[in-house]
Amino acid sequence: MLLRSRRVGCQTAALSVLFAFSQDGAFVSRVRSLVSRPPPRPGRLWHADRGGRRCLGSVGEEISEAPRIAWSFWDKGKENLPEFRRLCMETWATQNPGWRIEMLDQRNVHEYLDPKELPRLWPEMYVPWQADAVRLALLAKYGGLWIDASTICFRPFDEWMYSTIASERTAEGIGAFYFSAWGCEMHKSKEFVENWVMAARRQHPMMVAWKALFNGYWDSKTRADAMSMFLDPPGVPDHPLFRGVDLDHLKRFGQDLRNYLLMHAAFKKLVDQYPEFRRIWEEEMVLIRADDTAFWHMEEPDVKWDPQAALRKWRGPVHSAWLDYVVSSCPVLKFTRDTATLLDQDPGGLH
Instruction: For 66-76, write each residue's pLDDT tens digit.
Output: 999 999 999 99
- The sheet with strand 100-104 has its strands ordered as 2-4, 100-104, 69-73, 144-147, 193-200, 174-178, 285-289
Task: Tell me what the mean pLDDT of segment 335-342 comes to.
Answer: 88
Give me the pLDDT at residue 99, please: 97
User: How far apart are alpha carbons 279 and 272 in whole angstroms?
Assistant: 10
**96 within 8 A of 156, measured Cβ to Cβ:** yes
User: How far apart are alpha carbons 39 and 98 in whole angstroms?
Assistant: 11
**14 within 8 A of 94, measured Cβ to Cβ:** yes
Give me the pLDDT at residue 115, please: 97
Model confidence, pTM: 0.85
Identity of the amino acid at 11: Q
Q: pLDDT band at 194, cuts 50/70/90?
A: very high
Respond yes or no on whether the N-terminal peptide bond of residue 234 is cis (omega within 30° of 0).
yes
Partners of 333 in the beta sheet?
152
Identity of the amino acid at 208: V
**157 within 8 A of 94, measured Cβ to Cβ:** no
Say yes or no to pLDDT of 123 above 50: yes
Residue 328: CB atoms within 10 Å: 10
Give me the pLDDT at residue 318, please: 72
Say yes or no to pLDDT of 207 above 50: yes
Partners of 273 in the beta sheet?
none
Nearest to 200, CA basis, from 219, 174, 227: 174
Domain extents in the chain: 2-350
Residue 52: which residues within 8 A CB-CB, separation 6 or more?
A: none
Nearest to 323, CA basis, from 25, 6, 4: 25
User: How far apart are alpha carbons 123 and 289 in whole angstroms?
Assistant: 34
Say yes or no to pLDDT of 78 above 90: yes
Residue 259: CB atoms within 10 Å: 17
Task: Tell me what the mean pLDDT of segment 60-67 comes to.
Answer: 78
Average pLDDT, the chain: 84
User: How far apart are alpha carbons 17 and 263 in whole angstroms?
Assistant: 30
Task: Tell me what the mean pLDDT of segment 156-176 comes to.
Answer: 95
